[in-house]
Each structure stands twice: as structure tokens, then as C-alpha cells.
Amino acid sequence: MKPKSYPLQFEPILKERIWGGEKLKTILNKPIVSKITGESWELSTVEGDVSIVANGELKGKSLMELIDEMPNEILGTEVYKRFGKQFPLLFKYLDAREDLSIQVHPNDKLAKERHNSFGKTEMWYVTQADPDARIIVGFKNDSSKEEYLQHLNDKNLVSILDTVKAKSGDVFFLETGTVHAIGAGLVVAEIQQTSDITYRLYDFDRKDAQGNTRELHVDLALDAINYNKVDTQKKYETKTNTSNVVVDCPYFTTNFIPLGNKVSVSKSGETFTVYMCIEGAFEIEFDGFKKAYQKGDTVLIPAEINAFILNGKASILEIYIS
């Protein structure tokens, strides 16, 4: 007999990064032990980094095991039809104590041909921002391969890139091909296609503790880059107790819910839903199940759970595939 589904939490997969810090603990309550923790992977089926259930009867099982045993029930009928037994999204929190490298992600076609992977369309929700924190998103003006290479070789690539000041609550949507970098002083929630393919263009000539520089992928990136100016920042409404659409793209839909009290939610069973608690605290109530979640928590609602209640005072990101 198949086990009964319930809202699932997973053990965070913590990643040390040369640019990481300690805010994942101080701001998002993650159990980090390193002073250079850059990422907490909240929900992942990337090979070697598969999420493990942290709560309830299914504790200790991997997300891949659950999908293998109950694909329609976990993923949803339409998601299963479209992706098979693949979990198509990856959820993370990132803490940038220093600037990340300037990078780009390939589209589905290039990623499939070169790496047998999905491409990497992604979005950032800025959870916390230090004063004057900035991000790099695309080119200031339409550019070209030649201009890009000239500035890269001259070590002044940043001069032709668009740098934007970022504050808490800002959202940036990055289609594949967009050159980008998260700047120092930012904590972001990242929602993306399931892919770990990144082409690093420039790393500010940094060296790690052993004196080594990180690998660059200049040649691979040339055909992956969109050299045109792009508009990446998303404006969205903030109506209380409402799923306000932030990003709606072929790969995922993300809504922002300013939860003020109790809200009843109904789902179709076609897709899973993920909630990321950005601020405050809330509870999920479902068929005798009741659990509280706090800032930094991520919870997966299996697709077969089609009616439940959100209750509390919180800012929540709601993500599903439409």
C-alpha cells in the first residue's frame, strides 16, 4: 500500500562557497557550521545532491524515491506527463558575502546537446539586502560577441554590464543567456530549472584558500550569451491573502502571498506546489495534519493534496508548474 501524502520538508543541503557567509544561519535559521556557507539547497534532485525528507512517516526517504513510487501523487498528473519521473525545479537560498562570479546559463537546446541537462531559467527574490547592494543583469546596451570579448580581455567587462541596486522584496527574472552576478550583501531565494550548468565568465581574479583561481568557461559561453539588453526586474502586486503573480513562464509560476490570517487553498492535482517562507511564520492544516513553518522554511505540497489551509502572518512564495 502506498503511504499517505502530507506536506513535506527536506534536510537542507548546505554548500560552502568562496563568496559565502553566515547569513543563512542568522537570517534564515539554517544549521550551518562554516563561515563561508553560500547556498542552502532546499529541494533538489540534482545527481549527488538529492533532497531527503526531514519530517513525518516518510522521513529518511529521498525525493527521487518518492517520485519513483508515487509519480502522479507527488508531481501531479500534468507534470508527470510532461517531465516523467523528473523533478523539474531546484530551490535554493543564497548568501553573498562577496560578489558572485559573472556567469551565464545555457538554454534547453545547448544544455541538452552539451550536458544532457535542462537549461537554467531562474528567478531571484531578494530576501535581505545590505545598503547599496547591487546585482549585475545583462548588458547596459545591445552588445556583440566582439565587444564582449574585448572588454573581457581588458578586464573591464563590468563597464558594459547593467548594474542594478537591489532591496528586499525585489524580484529579478533571468532567462537563459542573461549575463548576471549576485552582488555582495544580498540574500536571495532562487527558483530555477533543475540544472547545475553554469558558465563562469569572470571571477574578479579571486583565489581560494589554496591560492587557486576558479575555472572559467569563456569558449562555452560565447554561443550561450544573449548580447541584447534585457528587462529582468519584475513588478508585482501585494494584495493580502491573495496569490499575486510575480513570474509566469513556461518553466514555473511564482506567486507572492502576504498572508494575514487564514486562507483556504484548492488545487487541481495537476502539479505539486512549493511554499517558501520569506518572512514571519504560518501553519499548514490538512486532514488532521498541522505544522508550523518559520522564515527560511521550504515545504513541498504533493499534488494529490488538493485542499488545505494556510494560517498565520507571513510573506510566502508559492511556486508550481502551470
> Which value, to the nearest 10 degrees, does the dihedral of the CA atoms of residues 282, 272, 65, 63 take?
-40
pLDDT tens digit sequence for 150-163 = 999 999 999 999 99
* Segment 189-206 mean pLDDT: 93
Query: Where residue 170 sits, what CATH number does that domain have?
Result: 2.60.120.10
Is position 115 within any domain? yes
- List Cβ neighbours of 140 (8 Å cut-off, separation of 6 or more): 160, 161, 162, 229
To the question of whether residue 122 is assigned a binding role by annotation, the answer is yes
Domain membership of residue 206 (yes or no) is yes
Q: What is the mean pLDDT of residues 208-233?
A: 91
Number of structural domains the chain divides into? 2
Exposed/middle/buried for 216, CB within 10 Å: 0-12, 13-18, 19+?
middle
Q: Is 200 a catalytic residue?
A: yes
- Domain range enclosing 169: 8-234
Domain-embedded: residue 312: yes
Residues 207 and 283 in one domain: no
pLDDT by residue (tens digit) across 68-84?
A: 999 999 999 999 999 99
- Give the least confident one: 8-17, 110-119, 232-241: 110-119
pLDDT of residue 208: 76
Note whether residue 1 is domain-resident.
no
Per residue in 122-134, pLDDT tens? 999 999 999 999 9
180 annotated as belonging to a binding site for a ligand: yes
Residue 196 has pLDDT above 70, yes or no: yes
- Are 102 and 208 within one domain? yes
Specify the 3-state DSSP secondary structure of 87.
coil
Q: Are residues 42 and 94 in the same domain?
A: yes
Instruction: Check pLDDT > 90 for residue 205.
Output: no
Quick one: cell of 179? 549575463
Instruction: Indicate if 264 and 155 belong to the same structural domain.
Output: no
pLDDT at position 199 is: 96
**Does 162 lie in the same domain as 57?**
yes
Mean pLDDT of the chain: 96
Neighbour-count burial of 264, counting CB atoms closer than 10 A to its CB (0-12 exposed, 13-18 middle, 19+ buried): exposed
Q: Are residues 208 and 261 in the same domain?
A: no
Residue 196 or 299, more confident: 299
Q: Is 70 exceeded by the pLDDT of residue 272? A: yes
Q: Picking from 2-6, 119-123, 242-246, which range would have the lowest pLDDT averaged per residue?
A: 2-6
The mean per-residue pLDDT over the stretch 313-317 comes to 98
- Determine, yes or no, domain membership for 203: yes
- 292 and 164, same domain (yes or no): no
Cell numbers found for residue 202: 569572470
Domain boundary among 213, 234, 255: 234
| Residue 187 near residue 95, CB atoms below 8 Å | yes
Question: Which of 114, 200, 206, 214 is flagged as catalytic?
Answer: 200
Q: Which of 234, 264, 287 is the last residue of a domain?
A: 234
Report the 10 Å Cβ neighbour count for 87: 22
Q: Per the structure block, which three cell numbers stand in for 86?
A: 523528473
In Å, what is the CA distance from 120 to each residue of 60, 96, 141?
Answer: 28, 20, 23
Please state the rounded mean pLDDT for residues 187-197.
Answer: 96
2 part of a folded domain: no
Residue 303 lies in a domain: yes
What is the per-residue pLDDT across 28-40, written as a single tens digit (0 to 9) for each? 999 999 999 999 9
111 and 210: one domain? yes
Domain stops at, among 185, 210, 234: 234
Instruction: Give Cβ neighbours of residue 75 (< 8 Å, ≥ 6 apart).
Output: 67, 83, 85, 87, 271, 272, 303
Residue identified by cell 517558501 is: 276
Whether 184 and 312 map to the same domain: the answer is no
| pLDDT score at 1 | 60
